[in-house]
């Protein structure tokens, strides 16, 4: 490959690595420096700020159930993201995090950060699918080519929360979500708008999967 081609690709890869840190410095920093945060390591390799046996058993069980849901839906996961459970709404230490959940990606490194308001199978399985997509597509393609509506829609296939069920009278408009290719566009608006975007993305991604790979919900 000529140098003239390699340079733009290298620049794009560097940008893909830097974007998460620029957009969300708290979570991105946590992903980078998590092993220096003094957290407790669980037997399955996940981390927690809660040392109590009860909490750690609950986290391990939750992770097993979320991975099993992905296996039942898509097949065995291939990705191995670092999963972090934290018990304080504001995060832990100097890291200020989403109290529900988020998935962070720094280059090839993937971290799933689960706050006290998101510690359920639906939310965890959802974030683990984001990590799976990142692993299979690669950092560069995910950031530069994968539409946000599709990324979220595929993750919604393992997220059964009722609030994200598409109303029957909205199915005809569901394709409008395909215009929401960027993170900013997908999450713009109030809570009701974002919930609608999730529901439409779930519906549209299910249809795409059925047509492309014969997948059935």
**DSSP letter for each residue of 51-78:** --HHHHHHHHHHHHHHHHHHHHHHSS--
For residues 54 and 92, membership in a common domain is answered with yes
For residues 136 and 170, membership in a common domain is answered with no
The Cβ-side half-sphere exposure at 88, using a 13 Å CA radius, reads: 11
Residues forming a β-bridge with 143: none
Report the candidate in 87, 81, 34, 77 with the shortest Cα–Cα distance to residue 56.
87
Query: Would you give the end-to-end CA distance of the chain in angstroms?
Result: 42
Are 71 and 84 in contact by the 8 Å Cβ rule? The answer is: no
Report the candidate in 120, 158, 134, 118 with the shortest Cα–Cα distance to residue 31.
134
pLDDT averaged over every residue in the chain: 87
Question: Residue 54 belongs to what domain range?
Answer: 1-145
Are 103 and 130 in contact by the 8 Å Cβ rule? The answer is: yes
Which of 129, 145, 161 is the last residue before a domain boundary? 145
Which of 89, 123, 145 is the last residue before a domain boundary? 145
For residues 151 and 141, membership in a common domain is answered with no
For residues 99 and 153, membership in a common domain is answered with no
Are 127 and 111 in contact by the 8 Å Cβ rule? The answer is: no
Stated pTM of the model: 0.86
Are 28 and 97 in contact by the 8 Å Cβ rule? The answer is: no
For residues 91 and 188, membership in a common domain is answered with no
For residues 156 and 202, membership in a common domain is answered with yes
Share of the chain above pLDDT 90, in %: 69
pLDDT score of 2:
46
Domains held by the chain: number: 2
pLDDT beyond 80 at 107? yes
Average pLDDT over residues 14-41: 69
For residues 51 and 116, membership in a common domain is answered with yes
For residues 82 and 2, membership in a common domain is answered with yes
For residues 138 and 157, membership in a common domain is answered with no
CA 180 to each of CA 50, 105, 131, 149: distance values in angstroms, whole numbers, following the listed order: 38, 20, 20, 6
Burial (CB count <10 Å: 0-12, 13-18, 19+), residue 129: buried
For residues 101 and 197, membership in a common domain is answered with no
Which of 121, 145, 169 is the last residue before a domain boundary? 145
For residues 134 and 200, membership in a common domain is answered with no
Confidence of residue 49 (pLDDT cuts 50, 70, 90): very high
For residues 53 and 125, membership in a common domain is answered with yes
CB neighbours of 150 closer than 8 A, spacing ≥ 6?
201, 204, 205, 208
Average pLDDT over residues 19-45: 77
């Amino acid at each position: 490959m000529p140098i003239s081609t390699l340079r733009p690709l290298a620049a794009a890869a560097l940008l893909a690595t830097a974007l998460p840190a620029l957009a969300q410095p708290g979570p991105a920093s946590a992903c980078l420096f998590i092993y220096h945060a003094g957290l407790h390591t669980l037997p399955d390799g996940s981390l927690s700020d809660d040392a109590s046996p009860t909490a750690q058993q609950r986290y391990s069980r939750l992770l097993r159930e979320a991975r099993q849901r992905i296996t039942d839906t898509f097949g065995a996961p291939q990705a191995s993201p670092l999963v972090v459970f934290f018990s304080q709404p504001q995060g832990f230490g100097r890291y200020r995090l989403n109290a529900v959940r988020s998935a962070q990606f720094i280059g090839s490194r993937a971290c799933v950060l689960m706050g006290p308001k998101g510690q359920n199978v639906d939310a965890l399985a959802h974030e683990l699918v984001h990590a799976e997509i990142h692993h299979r597509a690669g950092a560069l393609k995910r950031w530069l080519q994968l539409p946000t509506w599709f990324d979220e829609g595929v993750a919604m296939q393992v997220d059964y929360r009722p609030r994200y069920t598409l109303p029957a009278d909205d199915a005809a408009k569901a394709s409008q979500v395909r215009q929401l290719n960027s993170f900013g566009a997908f999450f713009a608006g109030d809570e009701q708008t974002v919930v609608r975007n999730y529901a439409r993305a779930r519906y549209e991604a299910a249809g795409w999967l059925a047509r492309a790979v014969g997948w059935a919900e």
